[in-house]
Chain A
Amino acid sequence: MSFLDLNIVWYILVGVLFTGYAMLDGFDLGVGALHLFVRKDEHRRLLLNSIGPVWDGNEVWLVTGGGALFAAFPEAYATVFSGFYLPFMLLLCSLIFRAVAIEFRSKEHWTWWRQFWDVAFSTGSLVSSLLIGVAMGNIVRGIPLDADHEFAGTFFGLLNPYALLMGITTVLLFAMHGAIYLAMKTDGELLAIVTRWIPRLIGLFLASYFLFNMYTLIEVPWVLETVRARPYVFFLVAANVLIVLNIPREIHRGREFYAFLSSCTAMGLMMATFGLTYFPNMVLSNPDPANSLTIWNAASTQKTLGIMLVIALIGVPLVLSYTACIYWVFRGKTTLTKHSY
């Protein structure tokens, strides 16, 4: 192993891209999941406009994460995307629906029109979050792979209770994250509504997260062995619970931005927990671990990983700097203007 192991660098970078996606698109998917819980048209418009300028930039993290996975670990990309065929097709349709719902909803004043797109936006967001969680759950648990690394399971096999629990946990995580984001972006009556949601969502998420971790220890035996070998993983889980518990404290003090940062950190810690436990696997084969895809047998050549690293070193600082600028320009409470959704 040389000083700079490109496979490990790309394992981290792909993880960073998907974590960025969870932190950013996570809150706008969460806002979508909560959309139907407010009734007034003005409030719904405020919800939409709070994510209006940023949601499609957030979705680009998924596109880029997918592109980076394709380029750095083509075998993992090919295996997972073809293996999860139907769930991913449903995910795509959900993402399309919610995207155009945001764009179309406020273009007309008819009640039925707005109701239709409200439901489309909310269902699309919910189903997307659920399916992302289900996919993640299956990756954690491992999926059946044959000797050629092709998926050997079935569609209904992917909808196992463990993966579904992960799906629900993800929905709750995104909804909590979205509510905290809304606390930053709203005020007055709407802020009062949103503030009431936050402790309930935190409670629900923590309960679901606890169940999921317990279930993991029963359902996925390799996790226990890995945690024994890498005990520092335990500290990440503990830090995660503490940081989630910090959220209501910050909200109580009226420091919504710090609450949002805590929530982002929690997501980062969860992904780090996963990454450190899962390493060096890319796609774990269950029941036959010998067929697993790892950061070595799923990777592109060193040359391509090197080229991609140059691309990332040029591109990522640019992306981060103007993303930060745009969030800065649109900071503060959302107000409705003529150009709003």
Chain B
Amino acid sequence: MTAEILARAQFAFTAAVHYLYPPLSIGLGVVLVLMEGLWLKTGNPLFHNMARFWTRIFALTFAIGVATGIVMEFEFGTNWSTYSRFVGDIFGSALAAEGIFAFFLESGFLALLLFGWNKVGPKLHFFATCMVAFGAHFSAVWIVVANSWMQTPAGFHLETIIDGKPVVLPPDHVVTPADLTSVRAVVDDFWVMVFNPSSMERLTHVILGAWMAGAFLVVSISAFYLLRNRHRDFARTSLKVGLAFATVATVLQMLSADATAKGVVNNQPIKLAAMEGVYETREATPMTLFGYVDQKDERVVGPKIPGLLSLLAFNSLTRPVTGLRDLPPSDFLTMRHPGISAEEIPQIRKSYWPNVAAVFQFYHIMIIAGVAMLALVVAGCFFWWRGWLFDTSRPLTRWLLGAFVLSVLGPQIANQAGWFTAEMGRQPWIVYELLKTSEGVSKVVTANQIVASLVLFGLVYALLFVMFLFLLTRKIQHGPESAEESEEMPDSWKALIRTTPRT
């Protein structure tokens, strides 16, 4: 295996493991704000116990999120140093802003959130909880902005150094391997870079995915307690908060998903064609619901709905979605490969395609998971409305709660599959239509070194993941604490408990 493939595998692996945790922190952060806010508003001690319980789960996910996150920041330099030299002027400022604005906020106030119950008053504690949640969202902003710039670069120009002086290169300059020691992308307009064509849609999509991760974790654990007939009061209230939050997040996510996909249609048509498995450009482009991609014969086998893709992409029944056989367009290819003949074009074109089968499947896994979660929240709300949701003597309710227990996997699967779609769909580029992934790797790092670090991370992360699951299970088994905790509560907190809680 080449160093490039190994470096990609390592980045994919460490990012995928890392991405199990921050969405939970972001989603649970909102849950904590909701629960502590409800506690301050109603004085119902149940909300206090809930806030305490979910804080303990939050602490566990947060610690691993931080530890695995440092790895990501280092890897840009260790494994992608040519990329770092090329984009440092732009990409670095987003990362630094993330550190200064988001991480400090998050980690500082986390100290108060976790250890401040007896040190500060309830209002200040609630403020700290809000700041932790805000910091978690803010960190998503900067990293998604940075990633979106790699998908849809904007607000920059290329420059090279000639005789020690920077020289601006024309916008159509084709970066070649020989350029890499001298050419770099430099910022023209910071705000155009931040609000690049895809950043806001993708940010919304990522944050809603994180909310779903947090919400469905709450739904899952609450449903588990209800099925086991444990902590019933706690579980009922938790399920209500969790389900309401999950419903809002899932419905909004459907709207955001549509906007994100329409963005891909405009910004990265090759990625869209790969996601949907469209090889041929034809009117009323059909949409494949699921299926198998035959990359050799360039066709997709599976049930199709005629015209649906045209409808979703362009709100038109007939307008064709451009297929891979016409992408990238011939003028782009002749610009990058001056002097190629018409016969060579189809072969060279294929080298600009991502791995269509993988992108298609990851994308469809995400869609299927999303639709399943939508179905679950609709069913949950229906049961809630009919008053069946907590009636565990009903077999249907038991089925639904069982599905809820498993639903924690839904957002995780969708989030992972979504990122694999986004990143693999961008290939062969590391910065879209600007720098190839193969050109971004560190020149001085050998394949053997990456094998060593990959094995190291494999072992450490496997151990971490097992420990995380083990401790999470123990915490769930242990459950929330009730009476005895309120006793050691300081007076400033006790004053908030009302004997007859407001409803």
Residues of A within 8 A of B (CB): 52-54, 56-57, 59-60, 62-64, 66-68, 70-72, 74-75, 77-86, 88-90, 92-93, 95-97, 99-100, 102-104, 107-108, 148, 150-152, 155, 300-301, 303-304, 307-308, 311-312, 315-316, 318-319, 322-323, 326, 329-330, 337-340
**In the complex, chain A residues whose CB is within 8 Å of the CB of B114:** 53, 339
Q: Report whether B67 and A95 are in contact in the complex, using a CB–CB cutoff of 8 Å.
A: yes
What's the least CB distance linking B6 to chain A, in Å? 12
Interface of B is mostly: helix
**In the complex, chain B residues whose CB is within 8 Å of the CB of A92:** 70-71, 74
Q: Report whether A93 and B457 are in contact in the complex, using a CB–CB cutoff of 8 Å.
A: yes
CA distance A322 to B59 in the complex (A): 20
Q: Report whether B187 and A57 are in contact in the complex, using a CB–CB cutoff of 8 Å.
A: no
What's the least CB distance linking B228 to chain A, in Å? 22
In the complex, residue of chain B having the shortest beta-carbon distance to the beta carbon of A319: B104
Q: Report whether B453 and A85 are in contact in the complex, using a CB–CB cutoff of 8 Å.
A: yes
**In the complex, chain B residues whose CB is within 8 Å of the CB of A316:** 100
CA distance A303 to B193 in the complex (A): 13
CA distance A92 to B456 in the complex (A): 10
What's the least CB distance linking B78 to chain A, in Å? 5
Our count of residue pairs bridging A and B at CB distance below 8 angstroms stands at 224
Q: Which of B68, B78, B84, B444 contacts A74 (CB 8 A)?
A: B84
In the complex, residue of chain A having the shortest beta-carbon distance to the beta carbon of B131: A322
Q: Report whether B63 and A56 are in contact in the complex, using a CB–CB cutoff of 8 Å.
A: yes
CA distance A79 to B292 in the complex (A): 44
**In the complex, chain B residues whose CB is within 8 Å of the CB of A71:** 88-89, 92-93, 95-96
CA distance A64 to B100 in the complex (A): 6
Sampled A-B contacts (25; CB under 8 Å): A53-B114, A56-B66, A56-B110, A57-B108, A64-B100, A67-B92, A67-B98, A70-B91, A70-B92, A70-B96, A71-B89, A74-B88, A78-B88, A82-B445, A85-B449, A89-B452, A99-B67, A311-B96, A311-B101, A318-B105, A322-B105, A322-B108, A326-B108, A338-B485, A339-B114
What's the least CB distance linking A160 to chain B, in Å? 18
Q: Which of B70, B78, B110, B116 contacts A81 (CB 8 A)?
A: B78
**In the complex, chain B residues whose CB is within 8 Å of the CB of A82:** 77-79, 81, 442-445
Q: Report whether A326 and B112 are in contact in the complex, using a CB–CB cutoff of 8 Å.
A: yes
CA distance A72 to B88 in the complex (A): 8
**In the complex, chain A residues whose CB is within 8 Å of the CB of B442:** 78, 82, 85
In the complex, residue of chain B having the shortest beta-carbon distance to the beta carbon of A102: B63
**In the complex, chain A residues whose CB is within 8 Å of the CB of B97:** 67, 311, 315
List B residues 453-484 near A (Cβ within 8 Å): 453, 456-457, 460, 464, 467, 471, 474
In the complex, residue of chain B having the shortest beta-carbon distance to the beta carbon of A325: B108
Q: B426 on the interface (CB 8 Å rule)?
A: no
Q: Which of B81, B87, B456, B488 contacts A89 (CB 8 A)?
A: B456
Q: Which of B107, B110, B444 contacts A150 (CB 8 A)?
A: B444
Q: B118 on the interface (CB 8 Å rule)?
A: yes
**In the complex, chain B residues whose CB is within 8 Å of the CB of A68:** 96, 99
Q: Report whether A60 and B103 are in contact in the complex, using a CB–CB cutoff of 8 Å.
A: yes
Q: Report whether A60 and B99 are in contact in the complex, using a CB–CB cutoff of 8 Å.
A: yes
What's the least CB distance linking B74 to chain A, in Å? 6
**In the complex, chain A residues whose CB is within 8 Å of the CB of B74:** 66, 81, 88, 92
CA distance A72 to B93 in the complex (A): 8
Q: Which residue among A82, A90, A152 has the maximum number of chain B CB atoms within 10 Å of its CB?
A: A82
**In the complex, chain B residues whose CB is within 8 Å of the CB of A330:** 111, 115, 119
What's the least CB distance linking A330 to chain B, in Å? 7
Q: Report whether B66 and A301 are in contact in the complex, using a CB–CB cutoff of 8 Å.
A: no
**In the complex, chain A residues whose CB is within 8 Å of the CB of B54:** none
Q: Report whether A338 and B488 are in contact in the complex, using a CB–CB cutoff of 8 Å.
A: yes
Known contacts A89-B453, A303-B187; A64/B109 CB under 8 A:
no
What's the least CB distance linking B462 to chain A, in Å? 12
In the complex, residue of chain A having the shortest beta-carbon distance to the beta carbon of B119: A329
Q: B384 on the interface (CB 8 Å rule)?
A: no
Known contacts A64-B96, A64-B100, A330-B119; A78/B77 CB under 8 A:
yes
Q: B312 on the interface (CB 8 Å rule)?
A: no
In the complex, residue of chain A having the shortest beta-carbon distance to the beta carbon of B111: A53
In the complex, residue of chain B having the shortest beta-carbon distance to the beta carbon of A148: B181
Q: Report whether A89 and B78 are in contact in the complex, using a CB–CB cutoff of 8 Å.
A: yes
What's the least CB distance linking B103 to chain A, in Å? 5
In the complex, residue of chain B having the shortest beta-carbon distance to the beta carbon of A54: B111
Q: Report whether A62 and B96 are in contact in the complex, using a CB–CB cutoff of 8 Å.
A: no
Q: Report whether B70 and A67 are in contact in the complex, using a CB–CB cutoff of 8 Å.
A: no
